[in-house]
Amino acid sequence: MRDAADGDGFNDSAWDNFSGWVADHADIIKAIHSVLQKITLALSLLSFVFPVLAPFALAAAALTAGVGLVLAATGQMSWLEFGVDLLAVATMGVGAAASRTIAGVMTALKGTRVARLAAQGSPNALRVVTGSFNGVLKGRVAVKLGPLTVKNAPRWLEAYSAKGITNAHFLRVVQSAKAGAGGPLDDILLGIGKQEMAKLRLAGTVNLVASQTDKLFSTYAPTLMNVLPERVTDVVPDGVRDFLADGDSLHRATTWRIGS
């Protein structure tokens, strides 16, 4: 009887029952997912200025991805949207790890510069290096946001641009703090910090591209296909043209229930 029931084609397995429950409550679960996305975004932005919030932002992102996985696996949300959620978790994880490394680099950098000045005979090496760091960190700075440069930018804008206040401080030290600088060890530490900054930028770029993919196919491409003259759009093969003109095509193509 069990074999017959399992093979009769009816949707009566535990997974089918769970999928049915998700489908019945899809609107509520999607609303929760949307709220979690907004909370994650707010916490991630605030964590740039208040690093203590970074673990909470990562936890919110993980919870958002978990709810997204349930919706995607049951066919209530596209796997593309789940992929964006997952990339948000990965981006925050990379950012948190990179920021911790950069904080360690800053501490080591100060120590090696103090040691270098002391070896050169400076009687107040610690005071000189500390003053160098503090002077740089208290000074004003210009921040680039794409093609726009904001002179004397506020600290929160600088932290947003560098994806963290610790990272912003590192960039300031690299650019302007020169007391005790130099030597192979100093170069190695600066290289490590710059590599971590490169990881942050790459992770942010990947996340940005992924998040804009949905808008590209759901908004930009259909609008462009409708605005361009037919002599231009006729060059595009029929299947591709239909896919680009339909704003929901990518969502439908990447939406399916596991086991369907």
The pLDDT tens digits for 29-63 are: 999 999 999 999 899 888 888 888 888 999 999 99
Residue 161 has pLDDT above 80, yes or no: yes
| 63-92 residue pLDDT tens | 999 999 999 999 999 998 898 888 888 888
Could you tell me which of 220, 223, 172 has the C-alpha nearest to residue 193? 172
Residues facing residue 257 across a β-bridge: 74
- Range name among 106-110, 147-151, 166-170, 200-204 with the lowest pLDDT average: 147-151
Residue 129 near residue 110, CB atoms below 8 Å: yes
- Residue 9 gets the label, from left (phi > 0), alpha (psi -120 to 50) or beta, of left
Residue 116 near residue 183, CB atoms below 8 Å: yes
The alpha-helical segments, DSSP class H, found in the chain are 2-6, 14-24, 26-49, 54-73, 79-119, 125-138, 155-162, 165-176, 184-215, 221-227, 230-233, 238-245, 249-253
Round the average pLDDT of the chain to a whole number and report it: 85
